[in-house]
Structure 1
Amino acid sequence: MLIKRWFGSLANRAVALVVGVIIVSTLLVTVAGFLLSRSELEQQARSQLETIAALVAGELDEKLALRLNALNHVAQNLTMSTQALDSRARLLIRRQTALQHLFDAVYLIDAKGEVLAEHPESFRQTGLDVSGREYFRRISSTLTPVISEPYISNYQDKPAVMVAAPVFDHRQRFIGMIGGAVQLDGENFMEKFINLQIGRTGYLGVATRSGVTVAHGNGVGAMAPVRVANPVLRDAMEGFEGTLQTRNGEGETTIMSVQQMTQVPWFVAAVWPSREAYAPITRTIDTFIWILLVVILMIAPLALWRFRRLMAPLKVLGDQIRERHLGMRSDPVDVSGGTEIRQVAEIFNTVMDERDEVLMSLAEREAFFRSLTRSAPIGIVQADVLGRIEFANPAFEAIIGRPSEELTQTYLSARVHEADRGAAIAGWRQATRNQAVFRGRFRLESREPGRLIWGDVMTAAIETPEKALGTITVVRDISHELEVEEALRDEQQRAETILGVLQEGVLMVDTEGVIRYANDAACRFLGVEGECVLRNFFQLITINAEERNLTPQEFLDGEDLDSVYVTLENTAGDSFDIDLTMLHIRRGREDERLVFVLRDDSDRRREEERLSWEATHDSLTQLLNRRAFSASLIKCLGEAGRQEVRSVLMLIDLDHFKPVNDEGGHLLGDDLLRRLADLLKESVRQSDTVARLGGDEFGIILPACGLARAEALAEKIRANVEALRIEQDGRSFGVTTCIGLTELAPDDNGPREALARADEGCYLAKSRGRNAVVVVPSPPAG
């Protein structure tokens, strides 16, 4: 509370602002300097670490190369027989003074892995079998000098690295090896590098790519596994070189530089904690903060004294304004102080003068408002801020049925029916609070008992910039309108009920194709489960008429449709034969609608197709009948003049069919006719026409067949018919055929001429003893 009161003073706020600006400016400068210095320090630290890691890796490589070359040189001078090597082993080792200074221990090992001699002899490794060691297996298999992986030596179980070279006899056969051991925790060249410190707490580490620590300057013993949880170390084991920021095992942020070695699959890691690397910039920031505190302590009191001197005239102005507002002062306020304070005083005096003028104008306007509302045809009510009626015009009196004297100083909410009163009060309050217009429909109580009046009510706040003055409410009697709306809703419900039970689909869409109404039958046609309103009608279906898809624009621009037969396909893959009716409603207007009536016409179309098929086919054999055969013959005759190969007409008459009917019965005869029909259909091409012309007579039209091929086909048919037999009650029944052939000529005047020639061929076949094929040539072209 004390802090809030202190900040209530403009002078104190100004002082706080000055101090805040100083602090923010200082912080910005500090942060910018910190970031720049940190970047520079980080670059220097990275460069320093990279140099140290590279130098250490290079020097380690040189040390290991020196020892490897020295061993290899000695091994080349030990060329002798196996027996000589075994007998002179101790003498040979004692002579290797140079190697004794380079290694912690020197060994001579035979080809089987047995230690022949050692130095110093106090290690007592002579006779030891080292054939299982990794370095022996490598050197005996590769026959080249090697530097081993770290291992635990047999001498005091200390970690060591073996540098070895193979020894050969005069025939270049492998007879053993000479090796020098370097203890990883001994007093040798490794100790020099590991004890090297970077800063105060930085350190060096050497490890193999296989994940074994060779040496560690932070107290981690040799042969410990590398911490693979560190991503930089994990990448270093895969050959990574470079400098990155990471975290050590204690979670501390560090800078790590990795350098791969060339002599062995090892890497050197130089580690420096970030807090130590960036320590100079931290000390600089601490000093800067102390300086900032001293500056603030010096500037704040001086700024407070100066700002209070500047704000003194403003306090005087405030006292005069308060007196003028309370009516204790009638003169304008004095104009003194700085430019801004004088400007405030002048504006206040101007506002007060304009306020007096506005109050006089409001009084005049109120008188005008009251005279205007008395003649208005709708109810107008003015209420104060508490909702009490101050004025009601005669139209409102007529709606309520009470005179103005009874309404004045009563609450406007009391005129609302009790069931709607709570919602009305809440709406009025919210509208007044939000300075918005409130609108609603409420039941109003009238003087007549039991009679309620529905009113469309709109309320707006009356207010000035200084305060709220009340509300103005407009009331319109809508009781009769609601009765008409209720009747319309009943009619609409009745219409929707009727449409819902219709089998025809009825739907209404707008000009964009969006469905505004659809009954259940229409939704089924559209293949939509549940409600299909607001879906796009033209996206749900495809309408095809006369082998052409109708577009949405054709429906919009075209005339009304009445009973048009179309095919409707929906997105679910269903297809319907539809009798379509389409009507335009309010055509050309913004709210234009299209009404579609969809009647399922599938049954009627199937019946038409059945009647059409029966009119052209024989019901017993399913072949074409004489009428369809004649139509096909006429068509073929019309094309005869354009064909290079002539068409052929074939008439087939059965022999001895009547005995089959008489002796086997009509059912057997019908069965025989059906089998013959199947035989004929199987014998001809799909483009050929096969028909039953009546009784036991058949006809075949062979378009563009040629007489020679037709005659061969006729012989085949004749033979197949003769071979066809039906067994019944131990008896065999069958028939033969007389076939007449003739070409269709361009000079034929009609089907009768061609039929007469083919029929003549049948008679000739019968006269020649039946079961024969006779060709009757067409007349020569005249």
Structure 2
Amino acid sequence: MFRTISARIAIPVIACVVALFGVLSAAALYFVRKDLQEGSGEQVAALVERAANDIDARLSSRIGALEAAARRYRSPDDTLDETAAEEFLREQITLASLYNSLLMMSPEGRVVADWPAVPGRRGMDFSDRDFFPGLRDSVRSHVSEPFRTAFGDRPAFAVTTPVHDSAGRIIAYLTGSIELLSNEFLDEVRHARIGQNGRYLIATKSGRMIVHPSNSRILSPVSRQNDGPMLARALDGWSGWAEGFDSAQRMAVVAYRPLRHAGWIVGGSLPVVEAYEPLRRVEFLILAAALIAAAIIAALVPMLTTRSLAPLGKLRAQIDEINSGSRVGRVAEAGAQEIQVVARAFNALIESRARVETSLRNSEAFYRTLADHSPAGILTLSESGQCSYANHEWVRLTGHPAPTVIGTPWLDHVAAEERKCAEGGWLRAREAAQPIEFETKFVRSDRSLLHARVRLSPIREGGRRLGYLATVEDVGPQREAHRQLLQEKARADTILLAMTDAIALIDSDGRIDRVNPAAASLLGWDKSVCGLPMAPLLQLYNDEDGSRVSAEPLMASARVESDEWSCETPAFGRVPVEVRWYRTDPGEALGTEAAREHRGGVLVVRDVAERRRHAKRVAWQAMHDSLTGLANRRAFEEALGHAFSRFRRQGTPSALLMIDLDRFKQVNDTGGHAAGDEMLCQVASLIRSSLRSSDLPARLGGDEFAILLPGCDTELANRIATMIREGIESICLERDGLQFRVGASVGVSATLPGDTRVSDLMERADSACYQAKSEAASSRELIESLRRKGSRPAQVSDQEA
């Protein structure tokens, strides 16, 4: 039954059809919805594209008509004559049909003539209009931002083109205005609909409405919040289609596209409810089709599997025909996927030769496209210097069309005063095997000069020089950046004088360029040090070990900040300072060489002696008891933790003494807190004088003291405890005719091999101290009892218990 491939395929497929039916139906509905979404999006995008192309075409025709009229204008003596201008405007019947009004303006922005004539408009000054500064900076036609007309307060926009005399100078501007609501220019878009409820809108990239379903929104600012995020994205440069909220805050399929001839964007939206209306009917159809398809598959699978293997025999026959030469071209990629893979592999062999040939043909087109899109102007030159190619960037930079450049010597386009220098660079390029770079000036088509950096590189093939490649880069912006850099330098000088920190500006060679008055006060650096190397003069020392800190590594770093150094100064000796070093780099605003010339650094030195004294004082207060001067609980616990860590790592023993004063409450109650404080100070002084320099005494609070004895065993700790206990017992405080004495209960504990926590050591010391205190109390009770009986007490002290 399963001996044939057909049976092995047919039976499992038929068994799985029912199980897969639900999955296939769901997948089909998903893809239908996705296709419907893409179809709606592409439809809206296509409608917006068509509307944008139509508006672009209308703008292009109007701009072209206006430019053609500007070229036809002639006046006596190549000057702007009002009478001639008025007569010229009346003759422009074609323009009058394309524009609502025509104006002729002087280069200064004054209206010389208008048509149709409006009283009061002639003589108006338009130089303060938003579009006029941009118009003066351009030699091409200019489409203005929309505005409201001075006469009638109607929304409109203007197209302006320069009028030249016979010498190419601008003598006037010809302007045509188009009203947004009364001209057929935008009528089709304004009244057109997308589907039943979809509409178009047009806005400027600067954020003003031109076309909107509501006429009240025309010329109003675009609200990024209320007009929807899709319009906000379009204003930021996005184009295409997507689902999102439109300007009416409806979920819709939205598309936007920018215009080529004006700074406008055209958009359209179709509500999602309307776009997906056919989905319900499609869902029913897909469900029915899936049921029918399942039944057909169950019936036809056996037959189809048999037929699907038939192309395997046909493939073999086609390969045999190609091998024999009776067949040319590809074999048919039919049948099952495995058969198609074999067919494609064979076809790949046939196509490899065709791809190589196609690649060779495309190479030339590729490199030409690459040159045309280069950010630098490119000229290809023959051995004699004749131009054979000019890319688009060259045309943009110079204004010379490529046909007028090809076949002419490239030196003909160099300014006369720069010709000799350019000829020298050309001669060096012909003699050298490496690229040559120099700066020169080219004459633009409008007779202005282009300050450019030229790089001449030989073109070689197999050791043979075919010509030269000249790249032309506009360096005008870099020179402007250099000028701005000098202005910033002047501002920095003013700030430098006002700073209270010692500041020195260091040049790229590590020499002092400038210093401020504070540098003279702190470092002794006055104007006489300018020009000297900074590294030998800056004498820095490491606070930790007193070693000299070299300034050379500091200058090699991009940024250094340190307050761990001291500086040798002539006026104050060695003082602690905070040193900051910032390396300056103008970056890409200047060229590579210019940036290297201005690279250096800023050294800031601040006297931090007072700040360090304050920090030390605060740090000491945080770790010591204010009454006795001993370490406080925080400092003691930190030192105890370090000692215990050394014991765990290295086995170094340590001992701990816990001291609790006896009868101290009587001192406080009888003599007052002043007497208690004095007693605590005397006890602290005795403890401090009884210890080694490596030991740490601390007051934990009230009348509790603790002593850490690093490197001390139990025997030595007991001797020290006895000495301190006896010393405390010998203290006698006299105050107001009264004598006060205290005793001490001392608990001794040392580190043991089994200790795993610091608390183990402290708990043993506390327990020993508590036991000593209890035994001392018992001794006092025994003495009192003997006294009451008249017996002589034994030699038992508080500490002997």
Normalising by structure 2, report the TM-score. 0.35
Normalising by structure 1, report the TM-score. 0.36
- Asked which structure has the greater CA Rg, the reply is 1
